[in-house]
Amino acid sequence: MKKTVYITRKLPDEIINKLSSSFHVRMWEEENVPVPRDVLLKEIEDVDGLLCLLTEKIDEDVINKAKHLKVISNVAVGYNNIDIQAASRKGIIVTNTPGVLTETTADLTFTLLMATARRVVEASDYLRSGDWRTWSLMQLTGQDIYGATLGIIGLGRIGEALVKRAKGFDMTVLYYNRTRKKEKELELGIHYRELKDLLQQSDFVCLLLPYSPEVHYLIGKEELSLMKRSAILINTARGGIVDEEALYQALASGKIWAAGLDVFEQEPVPVDHPLLSLPNVVTLPHIGSASVKTRMRMAHLASENLINVLSGREPITPVIVNK
Ligand code: NAP
Ligand code: GLV
């Protein structure tokens, strides 16, 4: 008998066709509306495999409803939306999509850094509003990128890819990571700093570490107060790493210069969120990996992970659970 797979969002036909050739496939048919919780709780009951997006909270309640589930395949590298301990207790394998999105996300992180530093969105809005009357010396002046100091918090795959871009701009690169990576310091020409020192010394601080309860509000009032008044915070990791209320206060009072945010604690971020009212914030709707090729690579890797597990083979990119 064919195994059953549930897909939590409408995906491109070539992915559906690939899965349908081996499995009975059910899918939430909407592209721009997430699967309602009650539907997910019902659908999960009898399926063997789940292919989900980062928008789906696969917590213990969902996992405990599943009677036959063998694999949860997340179409994202971050997997903080999944309770991996609860999955592991039931012998369910969790997989993610590392690597295939590294360069694209590093591109977007550097794009956001540049757009924020040079006030690109604000300048474009200024022109379109009809306020542009003449060229003047200090009009819409921002911060230099070339030669500046970049501080990366979380030197993993994407952090390392960001270093390559920064080096092209003659930036000095500092990093803070859970584990110090001495070989990378020599290979990439970067310098380790404790978090406090990195915050004090960097012109740009980029967050590129995974979210976990241990790093909830890692960047709060105290950390923001250590940063330079001219400094810029870029978050393409996860919203919960930054205390948004503290960030709003720091930006509104000029304690730091600007922020570029691709991720928020609540997504979609409410349009009346205070951060969206500030001119020195560039906001994006979680598009770090959003190139056509990369999103297709992610969907293919996620589907192959799922196929492998349900066919009795090893997944390509399992999430390793620390017991
Ligand atoms: P990765 O290769 O696993 O790198 C994560 C790095 O963070 C590792 O070097 C890790 O250190 C470090 N780290 C983990 N916990 C830490 C902590 N508490 N303090 C300091 N450093 C810590 O992951 P990646 O592929 O680069 O992706 C990083 C994250 O980016 C993802 O988890 C995801 O949340 C986010 N992301 C966002 C988008 C987007 O669309 N905006 C796209 C892709 C990824 P160790 O070496 O000690 O493990
Ligand atoms: C996107 O945020 C990802 O984790 O892949």
The answer to whether position 168 is within a domain reads yes
Per-residue model confidence (pLDDT) at position 322? 86
Report the pLDDT value the prediction gives residue 224, as an integer from 0 to 100.
Answer: 99
Beta strands in the chain (DSSP E): 4-7, 24-27, 49-52, 71-74, 93-95, 149-153, 172-176, 191-192, 204-207, 232-235, 258-261, 281-283
> Can 267 be counted among the known catalytic residues?
yes
Residues 119-143: pLDDT tens digits?
A: 999 999 999 999 999 999 999 999 9
Same domain assignment for residues 256 and 306: no
Catalytic-residue membership of 273: no
Domain match, 224 and 203 both: yes
Cα 146 to ligand 2 centre (Å): 28
Q: Is 246 among the domain residues?
A: yes
With a 6 Å cutoff on the Cβ, whether 179 touches ligand 1 is: yes
323 pLDDT higher than 80 = no
CA nearest ligand 2 atom 3, residue: 76
Catalytic residue among 9, 119, 238, 295: 238
Tell me whether residue 273 is in a domain.
yes
Among positive and negative, which fits the CA dihedral 180, 182, 183, 186?
A: positive
Report yes or no on 320 lying in a domain.
no
**What ligand has the least distance to the C-alpha of 288?**
1
**Do residues 149 and 264 both lie within one domain?**
yes
In this structure, the answer to whether residues 264 and 299 fall within a common structural domain is no
Q: Report how far ligand 1's centroid is from the alpha carbon of 154 (Å).
A: 6
- The ligand minimizing its distance to the Cα of 157 is 1
For atom 19 of ligand 1, the residue with the nearest CA is 178
Tell me if 111 CB under 6 Å of ligand 1.
Answer: no
CATH number reported for the structural domain that contains residue 249 in this entry: 3.40.50.720
The domain tally of the chain equals 2
My answer on whether 112 and 179 are in the same domain is yes
Q: Which atom of ligand 2 is nearest to the CA of 97?
A: 5
Distance 46 CA to ligand 1 centre (A): 33
Its pTM surpasses 0.95: yes
The secondary structure of 97-137 as a DSSP string is: --STTHHHHHHHHHHHHHHHHTTHHHHHHHHHTT---S--T
Asked whether residue 323 is domain-assigned, the answer is no
Residues 42 and 26 in one domain: yes
Q: Tokens representing 228? A: 């330079």
Residue 253 lies in a domain: yes
pLDDT (tens digit per residue) in 17-57: 999 999 999 999 999 999 999 999 999 999 999 999 999 99
Tell me, yes or no, whether 273 and 301 share the same domain.
Answer: no
Based on the domain organization, do 72 and 137 belong to the same domain? no
Q: Does the residue 322 lie in any domain?
A: no
Q: What is the mean pLDDT of the chain?
A: 98
Range of the domain at 181: 102-283
Look at residue 236 and tell me if it is in a domain: yes
pLDDT of residue 1: 86
> 136 with 61, same domain?
no
Same domain, 56 and 179: no
* Ligand 1: centre distance to CA 156 (Å): 6
Q: What pLDDT does 102 receive?
A: 99
What value does the mean pLDDT take over residues 153-173? 98
Same domain? For 113 and 204 the reply is: yes
